[in-house]
A = this chain, B = another copy of it.
Amino acid sequence: MSRRHGVMTLAVLGLLHESPMHGYELRKRLNSMLGAFRAFSYGTLYPCLKELLGNGWIVESDPVQAAPTATATPPALSGRRARIVYQLTAEGKEHFQSLLSESGPTAWEDEQFSVHFAFFARTDAETRLRILEGRRTRLQERLDGVRQSMARTRERLDSYTLELQRHGQESVEREVHWLEGLIEDERQARQGTTTRGGDDDAPSARGRTAASTEDN
């Protein structure tokens, strides 16, 4: 028991790590963080929060009611509906870190990768590198599969199917290229901090951000 709600758990713990929040806001931030990749509905969020509560990873904090435009609103229950603000417990933080340090397929598969990546600033350098490399290898395998299949079925496919394969292949190739840049950055950042085994905060990816936009 405990490993339910795959991606959401990690994402929610990560966001609450920054600051306490209520459900509605949590979901908005979640979907803006991962906007291009996926979206969650309330039907996933609220049950997930319930479970996190049950596991003692989060607690309800004072329902701090942010002033509803006009500031001076009397005590008790005014300004909108009473919001339930959640915050991380010590165990929650610990669990978050242990989730972050997982570097198996669970971290680099399609749905999970983007969330893990989003919290790389809190992930130690070794794990970051292993996840990036794991994903690159995974995509490379997929590419091999696609290339073989295109070689085998050559000419026998209609133009739409062919175009789909071509487009799919190109997308995967692009992501591999992106990953390779990131991996190189990680390696170079490691040179800077010599043999240190420590975890520190974001190495501000200089160079790469520019490099990957070069062909604008």
Contacts and interface: CB of A to CB of B under 8 A. Distances in A.
Contacts of A32: 145-146, 149, 152-153
Interface string A169-198: 111101100100010000000000000000
A28 B201 CA distance: 45
Interface of A: 31-37, 114, 117-121, 142-143, 145-146, 149, 152-153, 158-172, 174-175, 178, 182, 201-205, 208-209, 212-213, 215
Nearest to A205: B159
A153 B205 CA distance: 19
A165 B119 CA distance: 12
Contact of A202 (B153, B158, B165): B158
Nearest to A38: B110
A87 B202 CA distance: 57
Contacts of A213: 166, 170
Q: For the complex formed by this chain, how many copies does it contain in all?
A: 2
A35 B142 contact: yes
B117 A164 contact: yes
Contacts of A34: 168
Contacts of A215: 215
Contacts of A145: 31-32, 35
Contacts of A118: 160-161, 164
Given A35-B168, A117-B164, 14 more contacts: A32-B145, A32-B149, A32-B152, A33-B165, A36-B146, A36-B165, A36-B172, A114-B168, A118-B160, A119-B160, A159-B202, A159-B204, A167-B212, A174-B174
Contacts of A174: 171, 174
A205 B160 contact: yes
